[in-house]
Structure 1
Amino acid sequence: MTQTRGTRPGTARPSAGAKGTSSRAKPGAARVRRDGTSAQRRPASGGGTGRPRAKAAPPPRRPAGKPVQLGGGNPRRRMRTMTIAVLFVFSIFGAQLLRLQGFDAAAVSKDAQSSRTTTVALPAMRGSIVDRDGTILASSVERRTVTVDQTAVPEYTKTVGKERVKVGVEGAAKDLSPLLGIPVDKLTPMLDGKERYRILAKNITPLNWRKIAALGVNGIYSEPTSDRTYPTSTAAASLVGFLQADGTAGGGLEVLMDKSLKGKAGKTIFEASQDGKPIPNARQDTINSVPGKDVRLTIDSDLQWYAQNAVAQKVRETKALSGSVVALNAKTGELLAVASYPTFDPNQPGQSSDNWTNKAWSDVYEPGSTAKVMTAAAALEEKVVTPSTVVEVPNRIYRADNKEFKDSHDHATLNLTFTGVLAQSSNIGTVLVGEKMQPQTLYDYYRKFGLGQTSGMDFPGESPGLLAKPQDWNGSQRYTVMYGQGLSVNALQAAGVFQTIANGGVRIPPRIVADVSDGNGGWTAAPEPKPVQVVSQDTAAKLRDMLEGVVGKEGTAPEAKIPGYRVAGKTGTADRYDAKVGGYSGKTASFIGFAPADDPQIVVAVTLQRPIKGYFGGSVAGPVFKDVMTYALQEQKVPPTGTKAPVAQITPKTPPAKNDPAVIRDRPTGTTKR
């Protein structure tokens, strides 16, 4: 069809002769757009036909729910929008790349290195504990903890014949089982799984680890550790102590000297691949561990072993609850043996949790008659009596609102010298002498002897004992403390009283550490304790002679006498306070002495708690003292002095006159309390 002039595109003008049609389109008639949609014709403006123009029809509405298409008809605009979006994304990438490689390059590199860096601890080897002669009491040996990365084990291959064959988890279990000491059926599930770290076995010897490593099992690694061994086992267990399962100190000298013994751990830092293996030629730094220092004791391990066995045998024989033996150098205060029974095996401390503390430090008890030595020393020093002073000892005396005081056995009225009072361990005679001193005077002497305070060693579990101030003493306690009731000590304190008398009246606090290694092959001596002058040398000498009478025929402990040596000592038999029953239950039997009496070198204290088959200190503890002291004198190479013991004057040579003012007698009934 040919388009006629004057017509709009997309419309056709009808021919002039068509019937029923007009040569001009009617006002308001629809016209067709280029895109195929129709639009109402705008009415013509002005005249022409002179008829009024028809009102334009409203545009058709968009069907409901049909989305509007924006810019769909303009490809250039769409392309321009996409280009801007792509450039924006690339600009973000570029900025991030600039930040990572430019501004934050060092930090990012450090984070990346940290993610592939592995740190392995290098534990320090713990120092050894040795006796005075260098005999090892505790030492550490190298061990390995074997671990596994389960994800790598399936790749394990081994040579079978002339070929390499993948044997995986099952083959690894069979090869590792005899070296780890784990049955195959238990080891297999430990190797199979997805865990990257699992402990297979501990305390593997270096030799065994070399055999394990030689297998080349994928994912099998080891960590260096150490194992603590105690060659003397139960003989010095509560003295030396032990290590707990986590490697921390658990008691005794292991705790006391832990700071010196434990050393300083090191570490190795290296870059590892995803399978945990070090990356060749990558960073690897090692900070070596610093071994702990060795500690040398004053203890004689042979004497310790002998004392431990002696007290153990007597505890079992008498069916006692427990026992202890303390042996020390009379002139230096150095401890030579500190035995405690029952004991335990420090190599397997988990099998016993009741006997970890050493009872010589931890157990407190009323000492009984061994405490009379302090009352006697105070009385001699204060010039209240002399060794030959006569004391009239009745069968009973009454003090503190008519409270009855008596000796261990009934007797007629006795005339004893003060030496005899001590030799026969008379409670009444001790009270008659002791009450001539003020309570504060007695208390001050007890303190100077070391009661009511710790030794200064800070040994784990050490008790200061119980010593009330004189203003807190009740009526009867004013008298009972004189013969060892109403106050409490531990075995070390009791031994220290006799060390003071043996050493000329000078108390030297006990010590057990001789020196500590300096890490360069030398030793640094431990600080020496400060001496305390308790009584004069003259008083100590008189008291030593008096104590020799205790082991004589008329004394309470002839069982403690040692042929060839002069021995001085004192028995103790006291009621035992039991906190579990809230009162007294059983006895405490003890004997403490020193030898040679005229030149004391060694002090030995034996204590048995609640013995059943016999309980007197002389008959129960005396024989143990004799055995241990005899061995100690030989072990320490102490020869006899060759001098004769003085004859102990137990009773006066002539009966005292009735009104002799020098004689100490019970006060008349009805007199005021002193």
Structure 2
Amino acid sequence: MTTRPGGPPSGGRRSPRNRGDDGAGPPRVSGRRGGRPPAGGDRVGRSDRAGRDGAARRGPAADSAPVRPAARDRRSSGAAGRTPSAARRPARTEAASVRRLPTASTGRPGRSRRTSGGGPRRPRPSFRRADPMRRLNAGLLAIAFVLSLFAGRLVQLQTIDSEVYTARALQQRLHKLELPAVRGDITDAEGHPLAKTVEARAVFADPHLIKPEQRQRIVSALAPLLGLEADWLLKKISTPNSRFVYLARGIAPDQGRMVEALRLPGIDTLPEYRRIYPNDDLAAGVIGFVNRDGKGGAGLEWALDSQLAGKDGWQRVEISPTGQHIPMGQDSKQPPVPGKGVRLTLLRDLQAHAQQAIEKQVKATGADNGSVIVMEPRTGRILAMASAPGYDPNRYSEADNWRNPVVEDAYEPGSTNKVITAAAVLEKGGVTPDTVYRVPYSIRRYDRVFHDSSPHPTRRMTFAGVLAKSSNVGTILASETITDQELYGYLRAFGFGEKTGVGLPGETPGQLKPPSQWSGTDRYPISFGQTVSVNALQMASVYATIANGGVRVTPTLVAGTIGPDGRFTPSPEPARRRVISERTADEIIRMLEGATGAEGTAPAAAIPGYRVAGKTGTAEIVNPRCGCYKGGGYTASFAGFAPADDPQLVVQVVLQKPTKGSHYGGDIAAPVFRDVMSFALKTRKIPPTGGTAPKIRIYARD
């Protein structure tokens, strides 16, 4: 079979798609010869070119019939082998190469039907959809990426950071609960409780479990029940990022049960202990109190807190988000160690009597405050230490102050200090109790004039008489037999200028300047107890030293401790040191017996059947407004011991700034001494010695 150039194979049928020689020419239309387009076809192509161009690019309209290939012209072989000129001619324009679209009515190429509006109908566009495999692959890729992120995070949580998150989760569930130790009791020397620990409750909140709308209801219910301020309570239960805050501690068990009965969300109680003082204000200045945090706040409760408190324990438990204890969760525990009990040297009955006596006298004299001390001179044990006004440690927050004036207040001792001058001049000045001095009412030294407490004519007095009559001028005359340094040395030896060692907090050492800081006239008032200050216990220790034959024993309040097993451990023996000779001490004791005799300054201190030795004191108080003694008031005091020939007890009484009646120590302090000493001698079952007091020669014979 041969093929004619540019035409179909000779003798064969034409291809259904009858194209030109190059396959790019316009298709033949059936029923036409020579391949010419129908009449008017060219015009149609021009007029509707724009519409057909778009249709040719996009394909036939959806409602048009498909274009069929032109039928082969079966004429003569000559005509059949001839290629139409139009087919051989290349397309002159883009429109000429586009197939004619059949109309909707005839299915043949021609003019498009017009719409009712007169315009041609535009063929519907066709959309080419993307390859579905490409879409599927893209979706799978996106899903794989997201899953890889989740997988990476899962690997981080379960492997890389697993320990960190496990620890954080456990920390959120774990709660550490305090297990308070039982505080040791404080008892008197015979075991009577002065401070004890009883069962109590603590109220706490878990702010995490309290919703904001529940807070006001909780405040309204708890504030009046626990005596708390509403604003403070609201702030506590609103604490952010907290699972445990205390709202109240040490409440009575009955109050705790009332709180539990309210069933408030996030509110619960814990068992703990509360400190009580069964004797109310008895020895409050000595014992002190325990504050709301369970810590000692004053007195021995503060000073011995480490021994009394013991060591708190703890317990870690797992708590669910709803506040429930997880039974099988982690539970570790450190048991608490109970505190040691403390046994004091105080005697409850004697303490109570001394306190009543000083309270009564403070009220009767209008004094600012007063104190009484009862000591054993041979052991240094303090049997009573009372002060007024006091306070109830069960309600310590209502008290104006918690001070113990016995050790915390410094005062000028006045004439009670003359026993130290007497000891110094007897040992260093060559003076004896019978040494005679010509004693006027007043005396000038340099630019100052010193005088006795009351006017009197010039008299010849023995040194024993000077001490019995408490003459300031006679004491100055005797003190001139020793040097400033010697006087200072004896003051220091008796304990001036240093703490007593009793162990009470807030103790003042008083004031005693060295001789290098004395002015030209300081030594004279120092000799009779002015321009120097001490606390009441220091002064009581001076008389205990004399009563003990010149040996000073450190004052002691704590007899020992009691362990959790009930075993008593005594305190170490107090320090002792000799201050003056026993002979000097005996001479001073005999001289002091004269002060309580009929011619002395304190006959009100005498106790029938007992020999009593002691000394009065009436000292002016410095007025801070002017730095002078004018208008500052007085300190009235008395210190003594009995029986004088075998001293067993020492009693020191001090009244500050009495405003009613007399301000002399012999008038208002000596009666308190007699009352307390009499009771102490009876309770301690100390009988009279039966001895007779020696007569003291007060005035010299002419």
Taking structure 1 as reference, are residues 303 and 3 closer, same or farther at Cα in structure 2, changes over 3 Å only?
A: same
TM-score by length of 2: 0.78
For structure 1, the residue ranges without an aligned partner over 5 or more in a row are: 38-47, 55-70, 155-167, 656-674
Separation in 2, partners of 1:568, 1:240 = 31
1:220-252, Cα deviation, whole Å (9 max, x unpaired): 631123221111212211111112233332211
CA contact (8 A) 1:10 1:34 kept: no
Q: Does 1:647 align with 2:695?
A: yes
CA contact (8 A) 1:550 1:569 kept: yes
Separation in 2, partners of 1:201, 1:73 = 75
Q: 1:84 aligns with which of 125, 128, 141?
A: 141
Equivalence map 1:216-615=2 (5 Å): 221-354=268-401, 356-401=402-447, 403-579=448-624, 582-584=627-629, 585-612=632-659, 613-615=661-663
CA contact (8 A) 1:323 1:342 kept: yes
Separation in 2, partners of 1:468, 1:212 = 60
Q: CA deviation at 1:76?
A: 3.0
Q: CA deviation at 1:255?
A: 0.8
CA RMSD for the aligned pairs? 3.9
Taking structure 1 as reference, are residues 479 and 338 closer, same or farther at Cα in structure 2, changes over 3 Å only?
A: same
CA contact (8 A) 1:10 1:33 kept: no
Which protein is bigger by CA-based radius of gyration? 2
Q: Using the aligned pairs only, state the percent identity.
A: 44
CA contact (8 A) 1:365 1:577 kept: no
DSSP-derived class of the 1:440 partner:
helix
1:423-457, Cα deviation, whole Å (9 max, x unpaired): 01111111011011111110111011111111133
Q: CA deviation at 1:35?
A: 5.8
Equivalence map 1:25-104=2 (5 Å): 36=59, 73-104=130-161
Q: Does 1:5 align with 2:52?
A: no
Taking structure 1 as reference, are residues 72 and 594 closer, same or farther at Cα in structure 2, changes over 3 Å only?
A: farther
Q: CA deviation at 1:463?
A: 0.9
Taking structure 1 as reference, are residues 244 and 152 closer, same or farther at Cα in structure 2, changes over 3 Å only?
A: closer
Report the counterpart of residue 666 of structure 1 in structure 2. none
For structure 2, the residue ranges without an aligned partner over 5 or more in a row are: 1-14, 47-51, 61-87, 95-127
CA contact (8 A) 2:370 2:388 kept: yes
- Return the letter of the residue paired with 1:560: A
Q: CA deviation at 1:109?
A: 2.8
- Return the letter of the residue paired with 2:419: V
Count of residue pairs brought into register by the alignment: 602
Separation in 2, partners of 1:573, 1:434 = 19
Report the counterpart of residue 633 of structure 1 in structure 2. 681
1:384-408, Cα deviation, whole Å (9 max, x unpaired): 201111112123221123x212111
Taking structure 1 as reference, are residues 240 and 644 closer, same or farther at Cα in structure 2, changes over 3 Å only?
A: same
DSSP-derived class of the 1:141 partner:
strand
CA contact (8 A) 1:11 1:32 kept: no
Taking structure 1 as reference, are residues 256 and 51 closer, same or farther at Cα in structure 2, changes over 3 Å only?
A: closer
Q: CA deviation at 1:205?
A: 4.1
1:328-386, Cα deviation, whole Å (9 max, x unpaired): 111111111111111111111111123x1111111111111001000000111114201
Q: CA deviation at 1:280?
A: 2.9
Separation in 2, partners of 1:522, 1:51 = 128
Report the counterpart of residue 138 of structure 1 in structure 2. 195
Report the counterpart of residue 113 of structure 2 in structure 1. none
Separation in 2, partners of 1:225, 1:518 = 20
CA contact (8 A) 1:614 1:620 kept: yes
- Return the letter of the residue paired with 2:373: V
Q: CA deviation at 1:81?
A: 3.0
Separation in 2, partners of 1:456, 1:2 = 132
1:47-69, Cα deviation, whole Å (9 max, x unpaired): x9899999xxxxxxxxxxxxxxx
CA contact (8 A) 1:357 1:460 kept: no
Report the counterpart of residue 124 of structure 1 in structure 2. 181
DSSP-derived class of the 2:561 partner:
strand
Taking structure 1 as reference, are residues 150 and 455 closer, same or farther at Cα in structure 2, changes over 3 Å only?
A: closer
Taking structure 1 as reference, are residues 524 and 377 closer, same or farther at Cα in structure 2, changes over 3 Å only?
A: same
Q: CA deviation at 1:80?
A: 2.6
Q: Does 1:17 align with 2:36?
A: yes
Q: CA deviation at 1:90?
A: 2.3
Q: CA deviation at 1:152?
A: 8.8
Q: Which moved more, 1:107-116 or 1:7-16?
A: 7-16
1:82-122, Cα deviation, whole Å (9 max, x unpaired): 32332233233333333433444444333222222232222
TM-score by length of 1: 0.81
DSSP-derived class of the 1:465 partner:
coil
Separation in 1, partners of 2:89, 2:554 = 142
Separation in 2, partners of 1:141, 1:300 = 23
Separation in 1, partners of 2:26, 2:528 = 142
Separation in 2, partners of 1:75, 1:51 = 37
Separation in 2, partners of 1:386, 1:445 = 17
DSSP-derived class of the 1:234 partner:
coil
DSSP-derived class of the 1:378 partner:
helix
Taking structure 1 as reference, are residues 563 and 84 closer, same or farther at Cα in structure 2, changes over 3 Å only?
A: same
